[in-house]
Amino acid sequence: MNRTHRSVVLTALAAAAILAACRRQQEPAPVPEPAPAPVETCDQRCRDSIAAAEAATRRRADSIEAANRAAADLARRIEAAKAALTARVLFDYDQSEIRADQRAILDQKLPVLRANPGIRLLVSGHADERGSDEYNIALGQQRAAAVRRYLTDNGIDPSRIQITSYGEERPATTGTDENAYAQNRRAEFEVVAGGENITPP
């Protein structure tokens, strides 16, 4: 019987202890704590994922910027190619030979023409106003033909280069001094086909 009593007491004590523990657990916190900051709630893994996302965003921005840079560069190269194609060539008085200092202007057209087989050019020859009006038609044609010959001698298909002459009818600049005349003795270049999607060389 004694043993039994002891056992009951122990059981009761244990129960009391459990109850006490339970009561303690059910008590509300005496002071509500402030809402924890997210970073405080973010563990290492969370922080890692944020960093990864930020890196991805940065990479995306970098690639857009790079793409923009590339596009701008391409546009610039296309513009440069167009400018090279249409750059004027100047001539000496009553001459249709390509001047040594004008060859580079023609040479810059060659890679553009090679990279864009669809491009066709119209070369127009012009004269200053000092020669006779009718002879200047002939002279303009000689200049346009000399330019065409230079391009075809450098491998450009003749069918891609059309020529015409305007004589002295379309001066680039008005004026009656040598500077104006020099600007007017020229060949001009117009892209008449294949100019929509130029591939820069």
Enumerate binding residues for other proteins (CB under 8 A): 94, 96, 122, 130-135, 137-146, 148-149, 162-165, 169
Q: Which residues pair with 89 in a beta bridge?
A: 187
Cα dihedral 146, 150, 155, 160 in deg (nearest 10) = -40
Compute the least distance from the CB of residue 167 to other proteins, in Å.
8
Distance of alpha carbon 89 from alpha carbon 175, whole angstroms = 19
Our CB check for other proteins shows the closer of 8 and 193 to be 193
CB burial class (10 A; 0-12, 13-18, 19+) of residue 126? buried
Our CB check for other proteins shows the closer of 171 and 200 to be 171
Compute the least distance from the CB of residue 169 to other proteins, in Å.
6
Compute the least distance from the CB of residue 146 to other proteins, in Å.
6
Sheet architecture: strand order including 161-167: 89-90, 186-193, 120-126, 161-167
Distance of alpha carbon 114 from alpha carbon 4, whole angstroms = 111
Our CB check for other proteins shows the closer of 90 and 137 to be 137
Our CB check for other proteins shows the closer of 140 and 200 to be 140
Compute the least distance from the CB of residue 70 to other proteins, in Å.
38
- Say which amino acid occupies 54: E
Q: Contact, 152 vs 108, CB < 8 A? A: no
Our CB check for other proteins shows the closer of 141 and 200 to be 141
Compute the least distance from the CB of residue 78 to other proteins, in Å.
26
